[in-house]
Amino acid sequence: MTDVDIKNLSGMFLIAVPALKDPNFERSVVLICDHTQDGAFGLVINRILLSSFVPLQKGLDIKDYIIDLPVYYGGPVKPEQGYILYTPPDSYYPSIKINDTLSLTTSKEILVDISMGKGPKKYLFTLGFAGWSPGQLEYELMTDSWLIAPLDNTILFDTPVNERWKAAAGSIGVDLSRMFFRQGQV
């Protein structure tokens, strides 16, 4: 892996170490979408909140759908706000480009298009986000709460949800089942 700038982890995975016992992030993989001197913003990508978005349809004013999709827990901040990661990037939807292959939007229109089978083919819909104040993420990295790995769209979109934590760590050669900490083992 190339050198990592811990002051800008945009477009990287954070992988919770086994000793991280915060219920919001235990065994989680977070995609950092934006990281500046003002703090960091990311989405948990390996925790399903609802197996179907149908209960949210009325609140989203979506009347018809042909595709149902799971709703992921994106993090503890603003749990009422939806975010959609998708590929390939498309300028049709107002989005933030995370890298050349991935974008993020809060557009309801993309959710309507996805539910009607007309949107992007690969996507992940979350409610809420993970946020860090200035310097907070850097501190957590220095206290060994997280591993850092490059974003891998295969892990994000194609790996089963319950395998993403170990797959993300495996992408940098770490076997989480072999990590030992004072609190015990995985």
What single letter denotes the amino acid at residue 91? S
Q: What residue has token string 């990037």?
A: 89
pLDDT of residue 182: 44
| Torsion angle of C-alpha atoms 96, 152, 164, 5, degrees rounded to 10 | -80
Q: Cβ distance 57 to 110 under 8 Å? A: no
For the chain, the farthest-separated pair of C-alpha atoms sits apart, in whole angstroms, at: 52
Residues 45 and 164: beta-carbon distance below 8 Å:
yes
Residue 96, token pair as written in the block: 């933030």
Structure confidence by residue, pLDDT tens digits, 54-82: 666 666 666 676 677 899 999 999 999 99
pLDDT of residue 186: 46
Q: How many H helices and E strands in the chain?
A: 5, 12
pLDDT at 165 > cutoff 90: yes
| Domain spanning 12-185: CATH superfamily | VC0467-like (3.40.1740.10)
Cβ proximity of 74 and 33 under 8 Å: no
pLDDT (tens digit per residue) in 83-134: 999 998 777 889 999 999 999 999 988 888 888 888 898 999 999 999 999 9
Among the listed residues 81, 72, 100, the one whose alpha carbon sits nearest the alpha carbon of residue 164: 72
Higher pLDDT among residues 160 and 54, named by residue: 160
Kindly report, residue by residue over 6-28, the tens digit of the pLDDT: 888 999 999 999 999 999 999 99
Strand, helix or coil for residue 62: coil
- Mean pLDDT for the chain? 88
With a CB cutoff of 8 Å and minimum separation 6, the contacts of 128 are: 73, 74, 75, 76, 77, 78, 79, 80, 81
pTM of this prediction?
A: 0.90
- What is the reported pLDDT for 183? 44
Task: Report domain extents, the chain.
Answer: 12-185
The pair of three-digit structure tokens given for residue 163, joined into one six-digit string? 């395998």
**Can you give the pLDDT at residue 57?**
66
> d(Cα 84, Cα 71) in Å, to the nearest integer?
10
